[in-house]
């Protein structure tokens, strides 16, 4: 059994992009691997969060993990901030990082572009993510395409630690879906679908009511022409919708193209909305039940206890190797 770790920020409403790019693989991997799935609240505060919202969104993300099919008896589900070793190893990973390599991170560049003042938390976000992964000596990290570069940095930091202090960390591998690793915005297929986009029409939230989903899909930008053809270079908008269709209807891209040959965008979009709703509706029913039951708190407590047992051991070993005087 390998170790698997991943996390999602409680920085807004989870989207269909989070579900297709990351959560579906969490659900799959829990059957064969030892899994750690966190709500990464420490990462979320790299941009200012309103306290009441952060609290609500944190609980919502945890409940959505369970609603999407993560079984808390199989996988550990918990809050990043409940396992203190993350923050402490995060600092250690920051000291192993170079300014130059952090400056090259695309996510940092995008999130700081055009801002007058940029929080230092955004800059040291990637070494904290490296700590999340390495504190469990993880083998596999299921993520969407946008996290590839952070994974590369994690691998570099693990290697750097090993060469300074002796072989210790495993070098983790990303686990990225073949189709759907980058679901794009509904209003602009050059940007990824993101829960922190200020325009809610740009994303499908997992908790959007079915009629809102139908409306958002009917208003989604399409390319000129009317052919339902997967060609990301010349038809980026419709290709994105085809990827979503393919995931939600469990059909290959070719099958989707064949079904709508000669029919234009109208019928395609209508059916797409129904396929998305059919994936999201049962998830929402599970979600409502979990929130009502209040059981999420016990799940998070147990997850954090199990995770801390592993993480604390790694942290103690890392500190010993680095020459920290052990507490007596």
In the annotation, is 111 catalytic?
yes
Whose CA is closest to 172, among 202, 215, 222, 137?
137
Given the complex with ligand ATP, which of 19 and 287 has the nearer CB atom?
19
* Closest separation in Å from C-beta 192 to ligand ATP: 4
**Which region among 139-147, 214-222, 234-242, 288-296 touches ligand LTN (by CB under 6 A)?**
139-147
User: Per rule CB under 6 A, is residue 61 in the interface with ligand LTN?
Assistant: no
Given the complex with ligand ATP, which of 149 and 162 has the nearer CB atom?
149
Residue 189: CA count within 13 A, CB half-sphere? 18
Q: List residues binding ligand ATP (CB under 6 A).
A: 8-9, 11-12, 15, 17-18, 20-22, 143-144, 146-147, 181-183, 192-196
Whose CA is closest to 170, among 143, 133, 145, 129?
133
* Closest separation in Å from C-beta 262 to ligand ATP: 30
In the annotation, is 192 catalytic?
yes
Burial class (CB in 10 A: 0-12, 13-18, 19+), 28: middle
**Which region among 25-33, 52-60, 128-136, 242-250 touches ligand LTN (by CB under 6 A)?**
128-136
In the annotation, is 235 catalytic?
no
11 is in the binding site of which of ligand LTN, ligand ATP, none (Cβ under 5 to 8 A by kind)?
ligand ATP
194 is in the binding site of which of ligand LTN, ligand ATP, none (Cβ under 5 to 8 A by kind)?
ligand ATP
User: Tell me, what DSSP letter sits at residue 277?
Assistant: H
User: Per rule CB under 6 A, is residue 7 in the interface with ligand LTN?
Assistant: yes
User: Per rule CB under 6 A, is residue 35 in the interface with ligand LTN?
Assistant: no
Tell me which of 14, 63, 92, 143 binds ligand LTN, using CB under 6 A. Answer: 143
Residue 12 CB contacts under 8 Å (≥ 6 apart), including other chains: 57, 195, 196
Name the active-site residue from 28, 74, 111, 148: 111
Question: Where is 141: in which H helix or E strand?
Answer: strand 140-142
User: Per rule CB under 6 A, is residue 6 in the interface with ligand LTN?
Assistant: yes
- Given a contact cutoff of 8 angstroms between Cβ atoms, the answer to whether 218 and 186 are in contact is no
* Closest separation in Å from C-beta 18 to ligand ATP: 4
Q: How many residues does the chain have?
A: 328
Other Cβ atoms less than 10 A from the Cβ of 325: the count is 7
Residue 100 CB contacts under 8 Å (≥ 6 apart), including other chains: none
User: Per rule CB under 6 A, is residue 40 in the interface with ligand LTN?
Assistant: yes
133 is in the binding site of which of ligand ATP, ligand LTN, none (Cβ under 5 to 8 A by kind)?
ligand LTN
Q: Which ranges of the chain does DSSP label H, i.e. alpha helix?
A: 16-18, 24-29, 41-44, 51-67, 85-96, 99-103, 106-112, 120-123, 125-134, 148-165, 210-219, 236-249, 253-259, 265-293, 296-322
In order of 165, 209, 314, the CA distances from 206 in angstroms are 44, 9, 35
Active site residues: 111, 192, 195
Q: Under the rule (CB under 6 A), what is the footprint of ligand LTN? A: 5-7, 9, 40, 43, 129, 132-133, 141, 143, 147, 150
């Amino acid at each position: 059994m390998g170790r698997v770790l991943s996390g999602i920020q409680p920085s807004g409403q989870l989207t269909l992009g989070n579900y297709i790019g990351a959560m579906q693989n969490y659900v799959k991997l829990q059957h064969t691997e030892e899994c750690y799935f966190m709500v990464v609240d420490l990462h979320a505060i790299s941009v200012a969060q309103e306290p009441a919202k952060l609290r609500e969104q944190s609980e919502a993300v945890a409940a959505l993990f369970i609603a999407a099919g993560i079984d808390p008896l199989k996988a550990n589900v918990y809050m990043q901030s409940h396992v203190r070793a993350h923050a402490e190893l995060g600092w250690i990973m920051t000291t192993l990082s170079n300014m130059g390599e952090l400056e090259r991170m695309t996510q940092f560049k995008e999130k700081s572009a055009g801002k007058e003042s940029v929080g230092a938390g955004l800059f040291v976000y990637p070494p904290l993510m490296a700590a999340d992964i390495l504190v469990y000596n993880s083998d596999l990290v299921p993520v969407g395409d946008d996290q590839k570069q952070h994974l590369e940095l994690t691998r570099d930091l693990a290697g750097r630690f090993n060469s300074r202090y002796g072989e210790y960390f495993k070098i983790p591998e990303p686990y990225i879906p073949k189709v759907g690793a980058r679901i794009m915005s509904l209003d602009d297929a050059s940007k990824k679908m993101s829960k922190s986009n200020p325009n809610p029409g740009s994303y499908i939230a997992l908790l959007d009511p079915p009629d809102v989903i139908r409306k958002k899909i009917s208003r989604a930008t399409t390319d000129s022409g009317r052919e339902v053809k997967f060609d990301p270079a010349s038809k980026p908008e419709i290709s994105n919708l085809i990827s979503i269709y393919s995931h939600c209807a469990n059909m290959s891209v070719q099958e989707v193209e064949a079904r709508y040959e000669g029919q234009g965008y109208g019928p395609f979009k209508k059916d797409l909305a129904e396929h998305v709703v059919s994936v999201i509706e049962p998830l929402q029913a599970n979600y409502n039940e979990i929130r009502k039951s209040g059981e999420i708190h016990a799940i998070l407590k147990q997850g954090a206890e199990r995770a801390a047992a592993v993480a604390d051991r790694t942290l103690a070993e890392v500190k010993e190797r680095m020459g920290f005087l052990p507490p007596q």
